[in-house]
Amino acid sequence: MAEKYWMATTGRHVIVLILLSVLLIGFGTMGYIIIEGYPFVDALYMTIITLTTVGFGEVKPLDQNGRIFTILLIFLGAGFVAYNLAYFSQLFLDGDWLEIYRRRKLEKTLEQLKNHYIICGYGQMGQIIVRELQRYNVPAVVIENDDSLLLKIKEKGILYLAGDATEEENLLAAGIMKAKGLVSVVSKDTDNVFIVLTARDLKKDLYIFSRAGTQGSEKRLCKAGANRVVSPFAIGATRIAQNILRPTVTDFLELALSEEGMELSMEEFFLSDQSTLIGKKLIDSGIRSQYNLIVVAIKHHDGKMIYNPSPRQTLEAGDILVMIGPRENLRRFSSEL
């Protein structure tokens, strides 16, 4: 808002200066026409060389009245030019033109975004989420109002919007109406609830993820409209317990999901209506024979999940296949799918 007010005020001031410049030139031109009887072009020429003090010769010798008028015009012109120089110099020093240019460019980029994710908050969770989305080239924009975190965002070249994510205008500026999903991971649960409520009110079909910091806030976030609620403390505690009870299984899943230290990875793939796999049985799909991939589970469009599906399982439009196998094979399957 402050930037818009500054731009509007500056624009009005510049328009006033331009109008005053036109009036001053008109005043000088009319003066030479009336006092000296100059033709319009000669009068305009005399006015311009007088105001700019370039020192060219007169069109014709001036009489006493003409010289007095010229002196007056010189004082008016010199004062006006001095004021303009002072104003624009101060404007250049006060206004961060490079920052304004960057913001304008950022606004245009945000206007072109679609099917992206809005990340509200760039704390510890937000940074990890953005890093993972960038690794898979998923478009995302961050909304953050902490100056220290904004510096980190700028240094990493992340698309961002400086502001409070609880404000509706910032969600709209981040392109929520064209977004695919929103992730609310700010530090306060009350802010997360408000963000989820606002986002759900703006776009009914938006997929919303949220962070729950305290016990019991999951229910409030779900009632507010979140599709998925994650409690980092509960997940961390469960992960520690699983490491104690099933260390090998946990290590395997962590490596498969993180893609670090092994060639094995786990991915999910959506079968659209145009997929050539629709109507085929799993054994005839070539997933195992051609790509050496294992289908761990199949999620139907109605939400029903089938674990360890039978080779006779028929693939349907809207199915989501959860598969595990070599990363290169998964990439090849994705490109051909």
Residue 314 belongs to domain with CATH number: 3.30.70.1450
Task: Look at residue 37 and tell me if it is in a domain.
Answer: yes
Residues 88 and 123 in one domain: no
Predicted pLDDT at 213: 83
Question: Please, which residues have CB within 8 angstroms of residue 289's CB and are 6 or more apart in sequence?
Answer: none
Residues 118 and 228 in one domain: yes
Most confident range, picked from 100-109, 247-256, 320-329 = 320-329
Q: Which residue has the higher pLDDT, 98 or 88?
A: 88
Does position 287 have pLDDT exceeding 70, yes or no?
Answer: yes
- Residue-range definition of the domain harbouring residue 145: 114-235
Does position 246 have pLDDT exceeding 60, yes or no?
Answer: yes
Residues 207 and 272 in one domain: no
Q: What are phi and psi of 201, to 5 degrees?
A: -70, -35
Average pLDDT, the chain: 84
Does position 95 have pLDDT exceeding 70, yes or no?
Answer: no
Scanning the chain, the segments in alpha helix (DSSP H) are 2-36, 40-52, 64-94, 97-112, 124-135, 147-155, 168-173, 189-202, 217-224, 232-245, 247-258, 327-336
Task: Look at residue 250 and tell me if it is in a domain.
Answer: no
Residues 74 and 122 in one domain: no
User: What is the rounded CA–CA span in Å between residue 124 and residue 110?
Assistant: 24
Residues 83 and 178 in one domain: no
Residues 118 and 90 in one domain: no
Q: Which residue has the higher pLDDT, 301 or 165?
A: 165
Predicted pLDDT at 101: 65
Task: Look at residue 127 and tell me if it is in a domain.
Answer: yes
Q: How many CB atoms lie within 10 A of CB 110?
A: 17
Predicted pLDDT at 32: 84
Task: Look at residue 150 and tell me if it is in a domain.
Answer: yes
Predicted pLDDT at 15: 81
Predicted pLDDT at 118: 96
Task: Look at residue 243 and tell me if it is in a domain.
Answer: no
Predicted pLDDT at 313: 92
Task: Look at residue 10 and tell me if it is in a domain.
Answer: yes
Predicted pLDDT at 260: 59
pLDDT band at 60 (very low <50, low <70, confident <90, very high): confident
Q: Which of left, alpha, beta for 225 (phi over 0: left; psi -120 to 50: alpha)? A: left
Radius of gyration of the chain (CA): 33
| Strand 294-299 to 320-326 pairing | antiparallel
User: What is the rounded CA–CA span in Å between residue 308 and residue 317?
Assistant: 19
Q: Which residue has the higher pLDDT, 287 or 55?
A: 287
Which amino acid, one-letter code, is at 83? Y
The SS3 call for residue 146 is: coil
Predicted pLDDT at 41: 86
Asked if 210 and 236 touch (Cβ cutoff 8 Å), the reply is: no
For the chain, the farthest-separated pair of C-alpha atoms sits apart, in whole angstroms, at 109
Cα 281 vs. chain centroid, distance in angstroms? Answer: 43
Predicted pLDDT at 96: 56
Which amino acid, one-letter code, is at 191? D
CATH number at residue 120: 3.40.50.720
pLDDT band at 7 (very low <50, low <70, confident <90, very high): low
Residues 221 and 148 in one domain: yes
Predicted pLDDT at 133: 92
Residues 229 and 323 in one domain: no
Task: Look at residue 315 and tell me if it is in a domain.
Answer: yes
Residues 126 and 220 in one domain: yes
Residues 268 and 227 in one domain: no
Predicted pLDDT at 99: 62
User: What is the rounded CA–CA span in Å between residue 218 and residue 210?
Assistant: 9
Predicted pLDDT at 126: 93
Residues 197 and 89 in one domain: no
CATH number at residue 32: 1.10.287.70
Task: Look at residue 246 and tell me if it is in a domain.
Answer: no
Residues 133 and 186 in one domain: yes
pLDDT band at 325 (very low <50, low <70, confident <90, very high): confident
User: Domain ends where: 39, 66, 95?
Assistant: 95
Asked if 187 and 214 touch (Cβ cutoff 8 Å), the reply is: no
Residue with the two structure tokens 């981040």:
174
pLDDT digits over 117-166, tens only?
Answer: 999 999 999 999 999 899 888 999 999 999 999 999 988 989 999 899 99
Number of structural domains in the chain: 3
pLDDT band at 91 (very low <50, low <70, confident <90, very high): low
Tell me if the pTM is above 0.85: no
Predicted pLDDT at 172: 92
